[in-house]
Amino acid sequence: MTQDDLKLESLGIQWNLYERSVNNYSIIMRILNCLENKDSFIKEIPKIFVEESPFETCKILKVGKNTVKEGFFSLDNSPDNLNIETIRSLNTGIMSPLMQYNVSGYSALYIHPLKDDLNIIGFLVLGKKSQLNFDKSLFREIEIVCNIYNKALLLSSNINNHHEETHDKAIFELVINEFPNAMFLVDKGGSICFANKRAREEFENRKSLFMGERLDHLIIGIDEDFYKKDYAHHGNVTYKSGDTFKIFKMNCFPVMEKQGIASWKAIVLTDVAEEKFKNEEHLLKEKMGSIGLLAGGIAHDFNNLLTGVLGYASLMKNFLPKEEKLYRYAEAIEHSAQRASKLTQHLLNFARRQKKAIGIIDVNALLEDVLFLLKESFRDVEIEKSFYEYLPLIKGDEAELQNVFLNLCINAKDAMNGIGLLRVKTERKQHAGEKGLVLIEIEDSGRGIDEGIKTKIFEPYFTTKENGKNLGMGLYIVSKVIREHGGFIELDSKPDHGTKFSIYIPAAVDETWKNAPVEEIAKENIRKKRKVLIVDDEDIIREFVKGILMDEGAHVIEASNGKEAIEIFTEHQGNIDLVILDMIMPGIKGDEVLREIRSMQPNIKVVVSSGFMSEEQKNNLKEYSVDGYLDKPYRDKDVINTIFDILSN
């Protein structure tokens, strides 16, 4: 054997001794940590011996007057076949430890009697099924560690006997230990003197250092002056454990001794993260809902005004030669009104989505509305759209997804300081074995995101904005909403190279879809002497429609509200051919009027006139058999074509 070989062998022996010493020390320290819990002192110790020694199985038996307490752990989860009778027969009353070989399915079995003076009160048994090189030094080390456990077992019994004598104190400690909130007791230096069960479960990741450690080292956010305050106070503490973000409401109060001097400080931490997140989400939803309500109300009134402007402009063109200036002026008015109408349509879409429940969603239409509304405030941002024409529908909450896209687009604008390029793209992605995914990409040409921040941006209350008003909940809610829709988000960003969010959401159906083109009905005159009831609270709209119909030879009756409409219809019952009915009016609403007139004359032709009606609202009117719809604002030919089609049928 060479000198190098001897050195290597010597190093191996030294390393083996060092490793065994560390393991034995670990066993002893873990035994001491279990000292005050008499149940874990028997049930948990076998696992400690197996984890820190070369044995594969450990069994502990503690024999009382009428009871036998057992603890067992096996590395391969084999069943426990070591009962008290078997161990006693192998031990044969010997007071010192011994080794047995090839018994009960074990290659080697170490049996250590547990003694109280001259009485055997139990056994600690270690088993090895595979071959074990069991030299004298290892035997002696195991014997010493088992003797320490024996002494600790007796000490544990004495401690627990003392606890039984102080029953009232034990009940109080049990209550504190089972308290649902984390509770600490710290000294004036900030070191932890006591932690209940909930506190240990939440924070104990280094068991040997937990007790005696400074609280501000354990929970970031507690300042050093905190320990010097001898009065009750409270506040909030944030804490991250792995991927879980926690917010604790902290209540602190001094614990006085008999002399009235505060020696300790008690801290109770209540986990309020979920409550905080829900409150923030609720406030954001209420805010968006209020904006939607306001937008819807303004757009509805604006639509009524536009109906008059667009309608009379279209009528004016009928009386002017195409080459004259006045015709071009009327045409310009009509085009402007149509553009304004498109804006109100997007506002009404926004309002409708804030109210709508979970259902089928057209992502392209939703993004179209969002970008149209943002375009005016993004004056220095170029918006580039690329929407896949046959994008599948998805299932979800339109209001939540609308807010997600708004949030990401506004963040993109901020990242570009209001100047740059915003790309929004939709695509269909096929996913093996499933219905497929809808991909939404929102990309900006802004400053990008640092690597160190990427992992934090979806955390609640994280923000890089310095205005002091941002709560840092936007991207957290974005991520949460997408997860709740069964999707996920990918982030691609580099400093000074922009940011791209890729959102994947499962498609609701396999079929692609496309709106069928609406064929305009040929313009023909309405039959003479038809009697039409127009119900609308706006004078300008009634006058406009009345003028069109009278020019076509119809007889027109007007009602400015729901009550008047019911009275007129009752009076002329059987003589009215068609009703043009506004849905939103003060007093009695359009759907109530519709119900009343249907009860009097089930076959009456009814056209519903509205600034905007969602598919859900139209479905709710199906039971009343609505014959057609006139969406405000409309032109003269829209009125004529719709009514002619209905009366022809």
Task: Indicate the burial class of 307 (C-beta count within 10 angstroms; 0-12, 13-18, 19 or more).
Answer: buried
Residues 535 and 445 in one domain: no
SS (H, E, C) 480-532: HHHHHCCCEEEEEECCCCCEEEEEEEEECCCCCCCCCCCCCCCCCCCCCCCEE
User: How large is the average pLDDT for residues 408-421?
Assistant: 89
Q: What is the count of structural domains for the chain?
A: 4
User: How large is the average pLDDT for residues 578-606?
Assistant: 89
CA atoms within 13 A on the CB side of 95: 5
What is d(CA 440, CA 481) in angstroms, rounded to the nearest whole number?
A: 14
What is the DSSP secondary structure assignment for residue 370, as one 8-state letter? H
Residues 193 and 288 in one domain: no
User: How large is the average pLDDT for residues 376-384?
Assistant: 84
Residues 381 and 439 in one domain: yes
Residues 255 and 319 in one domain: no
Residues 224 and 295 in one domain: no
**In 3D, which of 554, 561, 557, 556 has the Cα closest to residue 538?**
561
Residue 523 has pLDDT above 50, yes or no: no
460: in domain: yes
- The number of beta carbons lying within 10 Å of the beta carbon of residue 641 is 18
Produce one character per residue of 181-212: b if its CB has 16 or more CB atoms within 10 Å, e if not.
ebbbbbeeebebeebbbbbeebbeeeeeebee
Residues 370 and 477 in one domain: yes
Task: Indicate which CATH number applies to the domain containing 186.
Answer: 3.30.450.20
Domain boundary among 240, 271, 302: 271
- 104-117 pLDDT, tens digit per residue, is 889 999 999 898 86
31-35, 80-84, 111-115, 295-299: least confidently modelled range: 295-299
Residues 554 and 603 in one domain: yes
Residues 343 and 476 in one domain: yes
Which of helix, strand or coil describes residue 559?
strand
- The number of beta carbons lying within 10 Å of the beta carbon of residue 250 is 18
444: in domain: yes
**In 3D, which of 160, 152, 159 has the Cα closest to residue 31?**
152
Residue with the larger pLDDT of the pair 386 and 224 = 386
What is d(CA 579, CA 604) in angstroms, rounded to the nearest whole number?
A: 8
What is d(CA 382, CA 375) in angstroms, rounded to the nearest whole number?
A: 9
Residues 327 and 471 in one domain: yes
- Compute the radius of gyration of the chain from its Cα atoms: 40
What residues pair up with 67 in beta bridges, in sequence order? Answer: none
514: in domain: no
Residues 264 and 294 in one domain: no
What 23-29 contacts at long range (C-beta under 8 Å, 24+ apart), as own/partner pairs, is: 23/52, 23/53, 24/52, 24/141, 24/144, 24/145, 26/52, 27/52, 27/53, 27/145, 28/145, 28/148, 29/208
Domain boundary among 102, 135, 165: 165
Residue 377 has pLDDT above 50, yes or no: yes
519: in domain: no
Produce one character per residue of 322-333: b if its CB has 16 or more CB atoms within 10 Å, e if not.
eeeeebeebbeb
Residue 515 has pLDDT above 50, yes or no: no
158: in domain: yes
Q: Is the peptide bond before 633 cis (omega within 30 degrees of 0)?
A: yes
The boundaries of the domain holding residue 622 are: 531-648
- 211-253 pLDDT, tens digit per residue, is 666 777 666 666 666 666 665 666 667 666 555 566 777 777 7
- 9-27 pLDDT, tens digit per residue, is 777 777 777 788 888 888 8
- The number of beta carbons lying within 10 Å of the beta carbon of residue 51 is 14
Calculate the CA 531 to chain-centre distance. Answer: 57
Q: Which residues fall within 8 angstroms of residue 573, CB to CB, at 6 or more apart?
A: 600, 601
Residues 469 and 445 in one domain: yes
Quote the pTM value: 0.42
Taking a C-beta distance cutoff of 8 angstroms, is the pair 356, 398 a contact? yes
**Which pLDDT value is given to residue 289?**
59
Task: Indicate which CATH number applies to the domain containing 133.
Answer: 3.30.450.40
Task: Indicate which CATH number applies to the domain containing 626.
Answer: 3.40.50.2300
Domain boundary among 165, 198, 215: 165
520: in domain: no
What is d(CA 420, CA 411) in angstroms, rounded to the nearest whole number?
A: 13
User: How large is the average pLDDT for residues 254-264?
Assistant: 59
Residues 140 and 212 in one domain: no
Question: In terms of DSSP bridges, do strands 628-631 and 605-610 run parallel, antiparallel, or are they unpaired?
Answer: parallel
**In 3D, which of 421, 346, 411 has the Cα closest to residue 381?**
421
Backbone angles phi, psi at 90, to 5 degrees: -75, -35
Strands (E), 257-378: 262-271, 359-361
Residue 93 has pLDDT above 80, yes or no: no
Q: Which two tokens stand for residue 387?
A: 């929407």
- The number of beta carbons lying within 10 Å of the beta carbon of residue 179 is 14
- 181-210 pLDDT, tens digit per residue, is 887 777 766 777 778 877 777 776 644 446
Residue with the larger pLDDT of the pair 580 and 379 = 580
Task: Indicate which CATH number applies to the domain containing 492.
Answer: 3.30.565.10
Strands (E), 180-273: 182-187, 192-195, 233-241, 244-256, 262-271
Residue 633 has pLDDT above 50, yes or no: yes
516: in domain: no
Strands (E), 83-232: 98-103, 106-116, 119-128, 182-187, 192-195
523: in domain: no
Cα–Cα distances in angstroms (integers) from residue 505 to residues 90, 232, 350, in the given order? 66, 49, 21
**In 3D, which of 110, 111, 112, 107 has the Cα closest to residue 132?**
107
